Amino acid sequence: MENLYLPQINFQELYTQFSMPIGEVDCGTYCAPHNPSGKPFCCDIEQAIPAAYLQEWAYLQKASKQWQLYKPQSKSDQQAITEDTPEHMVSIKCNGPQFCHRPTRALSCRQFPFFPYITADDRFIGLTYEWVFEPSCWLISHLEVVTESYRTAFIRTYDHIFDRWMDDYESYAIHSEEMRLHFQQTKRRIPILHRNGNNYLLSPGSDRLAKVPNFQNRKFGFYI
């Protein structure tokens, strides 16, 4: 921790350029009815725990009253948090969706359910999604609603971060590798919203891309 490199990143600026909704629909109204708590899955701390970069957390504590550090509920919860949270991030908890203050949503709120996909030969080519949320997140079953402006802002945000911060790039490279392993084991291809504006299915064993017009036939969980 002492030797952790933390580059200066202006989160206020990042938030400003990455503030648009993912699509023209309010996807929370489609997923929340399937969650027993009635909250959108990504805004329910029982389902998804947000994380913030250490510099982002420093900014959020000054800019907003909607966040606190997440307190693990048990030893196993603590262990899972430690395993899932990179050293340069902290787990946080907001006041809940009824009190959501959009200008100070964390980057992890803005990017959900996506993360930057890094190929095995080390290229950030676009967006893919957090596959554990396939059954619950309506948006993952409706990737066609993602706007070009959202895709562009997402890529611009991570280009900015990765240009300054190899540790963060590496943590997403590892996460992408985990996704390749999971999709190889389940004999599936990985959807990619590419930075070139096209959509692809990627073969996890080779990173070979097959262009697809859209993802309309991919439905999961509650949305089949």
Residue 183: what are its φ and ψ, rounded to 5°?
Answer: -75, -30
Q: Which of 14, 43, 143, 173 binds ligand SF4 (CB under 6 A)?
A: 43
Task: Give the Cα separation of 161 and 73 in Å (integer).
Answer: 31
Q: Which residues pair with 90 in a beta bridge?
A: 52
**Which span (35-43, 82-90, 153-161, 210-218) binds ligand SF4, by CB under 6 A?**
35-43
Provide Rg for the chain, Cα atoms: 17
Q: What is the DSSP string of 136-199?
A: T-GGGG-GGG--HHHHHHHHHHHHHHHHH-HHHHHHHHHHHHHHHHHHHHTT-PEEEEETTS-E
By CB under 6 A, residue 28 contacts ligand SF4: yes
Of 27 and 202, CB closest to ligand SF4: 27
By CB under 6 A, residue 151 contacts ligand SF4: no
By CB under 6 A, residue 113 contacts ligand SF4: yes
**Which span (38-46, 119-127, 188-196, 208-216) binds ligand SF4, by CB under 6 A?**
38-46
By CB under 6 A, residue 143 contacts ligand SF4: no
Check: CB of residue 107 under 8 Å from CB of residue 157: yes
Check: CB of residue 178 under 8 Å from CB of residue 121: no
Of 27 and 161, CB closest to ligand SF4: 27
Of 41 and 200, CB closest to ligand SF4: 41
**Site for ligand SF4, rule CB under 6 A:** 27-28, 31, 40-43, 50, 66, 94, 97, 100, 105, 109, 112-113, 137-139
